[in-house]
Structure 1
Amino acid sequence: MDPSLSVIRKRSDFLAANRGMRNAKPGFVLLTRPNDGQGKRYGITVTKKIGNAVVRNRMKRRFRELLWAALPEAGLADHDHILIGREGGVERDFAKMREELAAALARASKGEGDRARRPRHKRSPRK
């Protein structure tokens, strides 16, 4: 692991990154957002929708290796990088995922991202 990388652990940082740029690929979604000079940081999210604990942990290990290899050279300086696991990401070929991450980072560095997501539903007012 590169010492210039740090891990995002606070929920507020994950929520802030969710308002950033989004690049979706078949095995994951990459979120990038400037972090006000805190260096290259990364975070990983894999929800219970993906599978049981064994499957989720395997996916997180794969994502960690991908990020450690790609971020030192291709990561955006002073940005947060969040990988969100998608269905089927565990079965995807590792080399293919490496190429997809490189493509997503290249798009993010150009300022290109997917269109913003619409909210799924409106919350009812609290009583």
Structure 2
Amino acid sequence: MDRLRQRADFLAVANGARVNSPAFVLQSRLRDDGGPIRIGFTVTKKNGNAPVRNRIRRRLRELVKRVDPVSMQPHHDYVLVGRRDALSRDFATMLDDLRIAFTKPARHTHRDRGPRHPGPGPVPAASRKPD
């Protein structure tokens, strides 16, 4: 299992499927190549200062170390987005949440599905019927 380090890879995974949990959001994306599973970690500044964010990130890394890699799908990239609850949530519960997130069918974001209510749109002048 490799780490995601490039910003472009993180952005590509952000457009993929996601599974929500109280302590984290698991984002995933199927890659076209035959490479290994890659995983990245991110914690935004709204979660706290640098020591708090690093503590959240360390807990997320430890979760991934303890989960069975067989539960992850091959040829996928994953990003764990940490939430503030990752500090106070029981570690065993978070581990169960992560196992469930890997097995749960992921919901795609609105960016993957297209418009919610596609309307008929404007009719081009050339295709209108004469009055």
Task: State the TM-score, normalized to the length of structure 2.
Answer: 0.78
User: Is residue 2:27 matched to residue 1:31?
Assistant: yes
Alpha-carbon contact 1:28-1:85 (below 8 Å) kept: yes
Query: Amino acid of the residue matched to residue 74 of structure 1?
Result: S
Deviating runs (4+, > 4 A) in structure 1? none
Report the number of matched residues. 110
Kept in 1: contact 2:3–2:38 (CA 8 A)? yes
Q: Deviations over 1:8-29 (max 9, x none)?
A: 0000000000111100001100
Equivalent of 1:77, from 69, 74, 77?
Answer: 74
Inter-partner Cα distance in structure 1 for 2:76 and 2:39: 9
Question: 2 CA distance for matches of 1:115 and 1:9?
Answer: 23
Distance 2:45 2:56 in 1: 12
Per-residue deviation at 1:115? 5.2
Match of 2:91 among 94, 98, 103: 94
Structure 2 unpaired stretches of 5+: 112-131
1:17 to 2:51 alignment: no
Residue segments in structure 1 that go unaligned for 5+ positions in a row: 119-127
RMSD over aligned Cα, in angstroms? 1.4
Q: What secondary structure is seen at the aligned counterpart in 1 of 2:46?
A: coil
Q: Paired residue for 1:67?
A: 64
- Residue-by-residue CA offset, 1:67-116 (whole Å, 9 max, x unaligned): 12225221111101110011322111100000000000001xxxx22352
Identical residues among aligned pairs (%): 44
Greater Rg over alpha carbons, structure: 2
Normalization by structure 1: what TM-score?
Answer: 0.81
Paired residue secondary structure (2:84): coil
Partner amino acid, structure 1, of 2:107: D
Q: What secondary structure does 2:85 align onto? A: coil
3-state SS of 1:43 partner: strand
